[in-house]
Amino acid sequence: MILVARYALILTFFLSSCNWQSNTETKVTGEIYGTTYKYIFNHPADKPSNELINQQILEELNRIDLIFSTYKQNSEVLNTSLEEIENWSQDLKYIYNLSLIISKKSNNSFNPLKENTLDFSAIAKGYAVDRVADLLTENQIDNYFIEIGGEIRAQGRAAHLGNWRWAIEDPFSENPRPYKSFYIPQEGISIATSGEYRNPGHIWGGGPRDILSVSVAANDAARADAWATAMYVLGLDEGIIIAETYDLAVFFILSDGNSIQSTNWGSIFP
């Protein structure tokens, strides 16, 4: 499995009950990467069968695991080094290069190098979400909701319910409940949340640790996943400056119960 570097979950809510196994909507849940996953999509009758799409998604999730897992001894990341970068898979090269970009912009608060080893735990789940979204798009499915271990990507509409809705978990509650909920714009967005209130000390890096939870919205889940970790390590003062500098959509929950959001967050979730 891929090391789960963050336990901060994003809860999803649907406003009324409906038949998930109807002719137009499919819901699948399971476990992978040491966490859970869920995806829901509206399935046009003239497109490939649900079973074929589900099989493609499962195969892709397992393929990603064999690239980034820090537990499976035969994974690519455990059997390569920076000296062998020319021989890396396209997936590994892409995530490594994206990690370097975010590391530079975040003043090295996001770093895939841990004790001279490669570790993409804080971005791989987001990348897996993106790959599932790509598969659905390739199958001409435009209405979907994907979540792996709290990282989300969604677009379009939920059957019978309008826009998809999600919520940030309340870090002050012992039991999962929403702190604040939002509707996802129909054109689509990805969201990731980072924090240590459930599992103190599991996020690498220094930083002031002056926020309880931080959520980031971006076009792709890999980017949101990495930036959520970076923002948590940066802390509020430096994090909000970098968020405004790079037009990032960020929502901070502070230890006093208040919240602060970047300008771009309000543009996506008015």
Distance CA 262, CA 131 (A): 28
Q: Class for domain 10-192, per CATH?
A: alpha beta
Mean pLDDT per segment of 10 residues, for the chain of length 270 residues? 38 38 76 96 75 94 97 96 96 98 96 87 97 95 95 92 92 92 97 83 72 97 97 96 98 95 97
Q: Where do the structural domains in the chain lie, given as residue ranges?
A: 10-192
| pLDDT value, residue 23 | 46
Rg (CA), the chain: 18
pTM of the complete model beyond 0.85:
yes
What is 166-206 written as a DSSP string?
A: EEEE-TT-SS--EEEEEEPPTT-EEEEEE--SSSTT-S-S-
| pLDDT value, residue 18 | 35
| pLDDT value, residue 164 | 95
| pLDDT value, residue 176 | 87
Residue 190, CA atoms < 13 Å, CB-side half-sphere: 26
- Bridge-partner residues for 162, per DSSP? 158
Measured torsion, CA atoms of residues 270, 180, 120, 2, in degrees rounded to the nearest 10: -140
| pLDDT value, residue 183 | 96
Mapping DSSP to helix (H, G, I), strand (E, B) and coil, where does residue 22 land? Answer: coil
| pLDDT value, residue 180 | 96
